[in-house]
Amino acid sequence: MAKKDYYELLGVDRDADQKEIKRAYRKLAKEYHPDTNQEKDTSEKFKEISEAYEILSDPDKRARYDQYGHSGINDQDFNFDDFAQGGFGGLDDLFNMFGFGGGGRRRSGPRRGADLQYRLEISFEEAAFGGKKEIRIPREEECDRCQGNGAEPGTDVKTCPECNGQGQVRSSQQTPFGQFTQSRVCPKCGGDGKIVEEACHKCNGSGKVRKQRKLTVNIPAGVDTGTRLRMSGEGQAGEKGGPAGDLYIVIDVQDHEIFDRKGDDVYCEVPISFVQATLGDKIKVPTLEGKVQFDIPEGTQPGTTFRLKNKGITHLNGYGRGDQYIKAKVMIPKDLDNKQKELLAEFADISGEEINPEHKSFLKKIKDAINI
């Protein structure tokens, strides 16, 4: 059965910001959590909205989902068991919300921004010798209007009167076993410990805005498909003064029309005529740096491989280069005229080779007929 749209599951628009997504998730999670709702299919519904929240709350996964839909999300991108254990911070909030938490954790401190991933396609030559590439990435950056605090300039950011800036509220209840104290996320400030008098008009109080950022990627020589390059601090903006995450560039090298790569060595086939293979010749062969002259020795057999030293890929994080291997592809001529066939037949006679009578020259056929 086809998966449901994540935005529809949470009941938010596709351009919803992180606060709207979190608010919608908390409301639905509280409604469908199996511990508070015993109706049929509640558990499955809770898993669906948890998966939707995990994807949409992660900027990198959300970007992939927006571009490719469910096909852009790997199975590893969401694991409910990990989510339920608090690995993503999802159910910790719920347990506090329901009063199941103990001390809980404060969420009002600085938090590092999320890492981003960008797949960069480069040419075979760029992988071999390195280079520079300009890219544009969508990411969340600190709002330049409110400097990330979410408040409209000129207005106050006050300590939450409900929790006194702690981000949590405690309640005590007398039970037959004694007094029981519970902690939960402050419902007034959402755990931030602060309340803005007026939300920033540019970021709607989130403290972050989505922008296209232009970056120059330095590609080292020797990279291959799957190589990851880290750009420190170029990920999503942090929260509450926390550092930005990192950007990981994943390299995807285009196929080459001539060359194949194995490690740091380069392979190619070079067509030569059967005459060149037999008599030898000087030919031009392609390399990554252009054509060079190469001597084909006499008697070269089809499939013979020759080596050009240090004509391969530059070693990544090291010195030197791989080699280039040239495989001789002997081309057999087609559509020979009578003269060419006669000469080949004569060569076969001299060499003592037996050939099909149909391939003998017309003159030879006449001689054979006279001798009968």
Sequence ranges of the binding site: 143, 146, 160, 163, 186, 189, 200, 203
Residue 20 has pLDDT above 50, yes or no: yes
Domains of the chain are 1-100 (1.10.287.110), 111-151+205-255 (2.60.260.20), 157-196 (no CATH), 260-331 (2.60.260.20), 338-371 (no CATH)
> DSSP assignment, residue 134?
E
Instruction: Over range 314-335, report the average pLDDT.
Output: 90
Reported pTM: 0.58
Q: What is the per-residue pLDDT across 91-126, written as a single tens digit (0 to 9) for each?
A: 444 444 444 444 444 455 677 888 999 999 999 999
Region 204-210: what's the mean pLDDT?
A: 85
184 burial (CB, 10 Å; 0-12 / 13-18 / 19+) is: buried
pLDDT value for 349? 84
Highest mean pLDDT among 28-37, 211-220, 338-347, 358-367: 211-220
Amino acid at 181: T
Contact 107, 185 (CB under 8 A): yes
User: In the prediction, which pLDDT does 66 show?
Assistant: 80
Relative orientation angle of helices 42-56 and 59-68, to the nearest 10 degrees: 100
Q: Which residues are annotated as a binding site for Zn(2+)?
A: 143, 146, 160, 163, 186, 189, 200, 203
* Mean local confidence (pLDDT), 271-282: 94
Q: What's the pLDDT score for residue 130? A: 94
Report the chain's mean pLDDT, rounded to a whole number. Answer: 81
Q: Which residue has the higher pLDDT, 173 or 365?
A: 173
